[in-house]
Every structure is written in C-alpha cells, then in structure tokens.
Structure 1
Amino acid sequence: MRFFEDEDFRVLTALEMAMRNHDVAPTALVERIAQLPRGGCRKRLQDLLKRKFIHHENTAYDGYSMKYAAYDFLALRALSKRGTVTGAGSRIGCGKESDIILVQDENGNDCVMKLQRLGRCSFRSVSRNRDYKGNGKTRRGESWFYLSRLAAQKEFAFMKMLYDEGFPVPKPIDHNRHVVVMELVKGTLLNHIQDMAGHEHKVYERCLALMVRLAEHGLIHGDFNEFNIMITDDFRVIMIDFPQMVSTDHRNAVELFDRDVQNLANFFSRRFRVETLLHPSLEKDVERTAALDRQAFASGFFTKKQQMELEAMLEEEVDKEEDEEDEEDETNDDTQEATTETSVAVKSRHEDPAKEAVKEDNAGDEEDGGEEDDTDSMSETDTIAETKRQRLNQVRRDVKDNPNLVGNGVINMEYVKKRMKSVVKRSEDREFNRNMHRNSQKGRAKERIQRELKNTKDFSLFD
C-alpha cells in the first residue's frame, strides 16, 4: 500500500462503483466516475493490470473487473486511516468462505482480521446455503463482492449485539466492506483438541447450554460445530463465525436447531467417547425470553414491512366490519321507515276522503309559502360570498398540489432548478448509454468476424 497513490485508489473506487451493475465494468464508465485528467485513468488501469489487481476483457466491449486483492486494498486503506489496522501479519486460518489474518492496531495490540471470500470454487452454492440478502432472496446478478460485503455487515452486527448481551463471542472492533476486525481469542479450535483431561462432559454441557441460551433470545446459529467453537485454557466456550444465524421464527428453525444438536453430539461421541448425550428440543426445552432476532434483522423474523402489511390488513378488516355494521344499521332504519310508512298508509285508508282533501290543500299551501320564504331569504350577497369562497379554496388546492409553487403561490425556484438539473442529467445519461450501446455493437461485430476467421479453413488472401 505504500507504493499506491491516491489516484490508484480513486480508480479502484470508481471500478468498485461501476461493478455494482456490471460483471465487467466498461472502461468509459470507469473514466467517467473517476474524473481524472485525460489519459490518467487508462494509465492507472494499465498499472493495476500489470500488478494483477484487476482483470481486462475486450470481447463484447472494452472493460475491467476487480479481483479480491484490489477489494482487500480498498478495505485496508479505510481501516488504516481509522487507526484500526496499522500492520498485517501472517494468515492463521483459511476456510471455504473467508481468510483469517493476524493484524495489529495503532496501540500495538494483536487483532484478527477476517476477509470474506464468497464465490470461491469450493463454495459457490452460497445463495442456497446462506440467506445474506434476507427473506430467502437468491443471487440474481449481484457480484460476489456485494455478497461478501453483506456477509461482513451481518456478522459484525450479530457479533456486536451478542457481545453487548454478554454472550461468549470475540469483541468486535471495526469493519469495512468485506472485512471484519475483532479481538484475538486466546484459545484452541475444538477440532484441534484431542484430549480434554476429563472435562469433556463439562464442555459438552456448556456448548448445549449456549445453544439453548441463543434460542431463548430468538437466534439459532445454523453452523454450530467443532470448526466454529473455540476452547480457552480454563475450558470456556467461545463461539465464532455466525453470519448464517437465523431467527427461531424461521420456517426451518426446528430442523436447523436439531441438526446443530446432532452434529455436536456426533463429534463428542466420536472424538471423546462421550456416552451420555443430550438432545434438547426447540419446541419443548426452549422458552423464548428475548427478541434479538428483531434487533439484528435475522433471517426468518417478522420484518417491519411484514408488520406494516399485517397492520394494514387488520385495519382493512376493521373497516370492513364497521362498513358491515353501518349497512346493517341503514337496513334497520330503512325497515323502520318502511313500517312507519305502511302504518300511516293503513291509517289514511280508514280516514274520511273529505278530510284527506282538506289536508292535501293545506299541505300544498304550506309548501308554496315555504318556497317563497326561502327564495326571499337567499340574498345576492351570500351567493357572491359563497362563490368567492369556493374559488379561493380551489386556488389553494391547486397551489398545494403543484410542486412548482410554494404555499403562498410564489414559484419554488429550488424545485425548478432541481428538476432542470435532473432533465439535463437524464439527457446526458441517455446520450452516454447510446454511445455505450454503439461501442458494444462494434465489439460484437469484431467478435463475430474473429470467430468467422477462426472457423474458416485454408483461408488465403489470394483465393
């Protein structure tokens, strides 16, 4: 990193941003994001290519892709600026998902740096075995760097939450991109221990107690085995590696919990000849006392979006019930009015016809007099005031609904400028995409001609 300049990291950052939507980032897009002087970006890309930090392709179009070494340098530069990592040592562990490296902080303390390595040939089924995106979403075009970043964020969140709750986990220090920095645990991996000097049952019971305690707080490790458990000198159990944790509300929670219990029992029975094996059950032996899965957004828990949808559905049900009650009340009122009308009609049938005629004449006179009084009471002043009030309300509604105007009807210049900038940017992006499409078409034509030349036999210029 000492031989890297700021422009090199600027180009790597631009390449990282361009690879969010491209497996191979176009060179023109990288140059546009980096915004270096003319020719400066291509020169930096060539230097990085010589050092084998990036990969170059020129098939459909000219572009570059980033390797994990470049992603490591970006994360290390950010951590070194914070003072979290000032020196790197040797690699002390390697797995199918990550590499473990010994590092030092600015105070000279030894720490552990974990670098996620999703996408290795040995573990490309990560989309089926790990729910890093949440809610069972699978990988659809996302780069392995993005999934590694999600895995690191998830592990750091779980580690910090469990450490604050008093669980035996390493102390989290910092994280950036796909890198997690934690304290160095002075212990031995359970898989490397051959003899416990008579403490096998104690360690086995402590492991099971830790699993049950996690389940009581709403979490299931999902990969609780001898490779993710460390034993200290005083036979304490330290839990590591938990980006695959799920909630006890997960649809496969019972299966995952039983699998962890069975794997642990098989290991202690095979390695240490433990005869008394325990098999706690998630449904019978676990009583939930906390909801850490909601705090850390563990896979399978009831999300905020789902909670809002449930509340909306409940409100709809309540509204439907109220509407039904209103309809029943209206029907009851209608029936009562109908019964009163029928009773009045029945009574009128038994009355004298002469009296009915007199009542009708009196009613007609009262209606005519009422209409005359109403027309006389409505003055022209009230009509004009009502018209003005309606117009004023309409203007206020128009101003409120129009984003180009503020509350008092003045033009909102900030919004207009923002809209103009977005229109100009959209036109520039459209022109840039059109040029990119033209370059890709040229690249495809070039690739087709090369393929035809390669497939042609006995080709000669003089035939």
Structure 2
Amino acid sequence: MKTPKRLLPLVEEGLIDEVISQLMSGKEATVYIVRCGDEICCAKVYKEANQRSFRKSASYQEGRRVKNSRQARAMEKGSRYGRKMQEEVWQNAEVDALYRLSAAGVRVPRPNICHEGVLLMELVVDADGNAAPRLNDVDLTEALALEYHEVLLREVVRMLCAGVVHGDLSEYNILVGVDGPVIIDLPQAIDAAGNNSAADMLERDVNNLRNFFAVFAPALQASQYSKEIWAHYKEGSLLPDVPLTGRVVLDERPADVDDVLLHVERALEEDALRRMSY
C-alpha cells in the first residue's frame, strides 16, 4: 500500500521497511501492519487532539509528571506550547506504561520505539499468524469465559502491583492472541499512587470485565473483585498471586469526620505549595 504521510519519517529513518496494510482505525489512533527488517510489527499512529473522540479529562491527567514547571504552567494555560506538551504526555503515557508493564510480566504488546507520534510495537497474532481478534469478536463458551476472566483479573492485579491502572479496560481493547488475552490501548493509563481516581477507575475496569463475561458465565455477576483487589492494595498485601474470592465484607463503622477533614486540609496545603513553586 501507499505509505501514509505520518509513517514517512520512520521509513526515511530506516525504522520501517514496508507498510503492509491498515489494521484498524479507532477513537485515538490508526494502526498499520508494517515490516521492520525480518519482523512484522504494528505501527500505532496517534490522531491529533481535535480528531480524537476520547477526551483527556482531568481525572486521567492527575499525577502525570512533566519535565519542568514551565511546561506545567503552559499546559495549565492551554497555550500552543502547552497543548504540544499535553500531546507528548498523552503519547508517552502509553509508551511508559507498556515498558513498565512488559517488564512486570503483564500480557501487553512488547514496545519497540515511539518516534514522531508513532508507536512501533509487537503485532499480537492468533494461531494462524494473523492479526489477533478483539475479545468482543470471539465466540465464548461458559468455560472459556471463566478462564479468560480469571486470566485478565490476574493481569489487572499484576498491573496494579506495578502501580498502573488501565483506566479504559473493556472487551474492545483486549486481543485474543495465540497464548490467550493481551491487553492493549494504554494512553489513558494512570499511576495508582498518584491519582485520586485510581480506585474508581480500577472498579470500572474490573466491572467492565465482569459484565462482559457474565453474559456467558452468569455466576460472575455477583462478584466484587475490584473492592477486594483495592483493599489488598491499600493494605500493602497485594501480590500477583494473592488469593481472590470475589467477596468483600463491608465496613459499616461510622466515618471519622475529623480525620477526613484533616486529609482535606493537608491536600489543600500541598496544592497551595505546589502552585507557589510554579
């Protein structure tokens, strides 16, 4: 096929030898199958901000670091330079997450390089060597649904052990490769320790998995794995192989209002100090 304009710099740099075909076009990027030497890879070309349907809400941006205070101020003001920095942070989030998770043994595509807004990474394939289908396109039996749910739940735990929450996990960004499910699409991934919405996003990710697989395995519908996983994380007892039951005991003790107000006061003080440092 004709080389897309956004891939020309990588061809000229010798990073891509041939563009074979377009694989898919989604809300945030267009993905191509490419040849890099003897290896068949995929090239994820990020769309410009005004072309993406996925909006970068403040809950995703929280906790993401930039190089210096000048960049942070520019991003807050929304200047041209600030918007450029936001794009870099948005794209680098996926690259950083992939390297971090790959090193932790999480089932994600192996990243190669990110250059000129294009991420080169492993092409996930099925048993026939073709591009792997998305989970929502796979026919599932009850037994297979239970197996895949267990596998993916363990991957979510392994991700959290590495300090990462996907933030947008569903059957649409999971591929079923030759060795089972592989998690993809991570530009909205967040740092669990640095984001106040991490628990809510984890719950949404886990509940998305539950709701999808419960169509094939109804016994999953009553499970509460997200609360159980987060409880282990808060207590410092979360390990990749921690036993999970899907059941939680609710804490019905009265809330400590004074303690809550103290945490709010400390957060306001930290925010004031951070703004002064700019």
Q: Higher strand proportion, which one?
A: 2
Structure 1 or 2, whichever has the larger Rg, is 1
TM-score by length of 1: 0.43
Q: Aligned match of 2:119 in 161, 170, 180?
A: 180
Aligned to 2:174: 229
Q: Report matched runs for 1:283-294 at 5 Å.
A: 283-286=230-233, 288=236
Q: 1:274 to 1:138 in 2, by over 3 A?
A: farther
Distance 1:171 1:121 in 2: 27
Given candidates 73, 84, 106, the residue that maps to 2:15 is 84
Aligned-pair distance for 1:97?
0.6
Count of matched residue pairs: 220
Give secondary structure in 1 for the equivalent of 2:107: coil
Instruction: State the alpha-carbon separation in 1 of the partners of residues 77 and 63 from structure 2.
Output: 8
Residue type at the aligned position of 1:245: A
* Aligned counterpart, 2:158: 213
Query: Alpha-carbon deviations, 1:174-201, whole Å to 9, x = none?
Result: 1112100001101321111132473110
Question: What's the CA shift for 1:216?
Answer: 2.3
TM-superposed deviation, 1:248 = 2.0
Cα distance in 1 for partners of 2:34, 2:167 equals 28
Q: CA RMSD in A?
A: 3.2
Structure 1 residues 129 and 248 mapped into 2: Cα distance closer, same or farther (>3 Å)?
closer
Cα distance between partner residues in 2 of 1:91 and 1:132: 33
Report the equivalent of 1:260: 205
Q: In the alignment, does 2:67 pair up with 1:112?
A: no
Equivalent-residue separation in structure 2 for 1:222 and 1:124 (angstroms): 12
* Structure 2 match to 1:141: 79
CA distance in 1 between partners of 2:59 and 2:22 (Å):
26
Distance 1:122 1:162, change over 3 A: closer
Higher relative contact order (CA 8 A, sep 6+): 2
1:142 and 1:219 map into 2 onto residues whose CA distance is 29
Q: CA deviation at 1:82?
A: 4.4
Which of 71, 94, 101 is equivalent to 1:155?
Answer: 94
CA distance in 2, matches of 1:122, 1:169: 23
Q: Could you tell me which residue of structure 2 aligns to residue 238 of structure 1?
A: 182
**Distance change >3 Å, CA 157–CA 125, structure 1 → 2:** closer
Query: Cα offset for 1:247?
Result: 2.0
The offset of 1:124, in angstroms, is: 6.5
Q: The residue matched to 1:126 in structure 2 has which SS?
A: coil
Q: Quick one: distance in 2 between partners of 1:87 and 1:177?
A: 17
Name 1:203's counterpart in structure 2. Answer: 148
Alignment partners' CA distance in 2, 1:161 and 1:246: 12
**Scaled by the length of structure 2, what TM-score is found?**
0.68
In structure 1, the gaps of 5 or more residues are 4-68, 291-305, 311-463
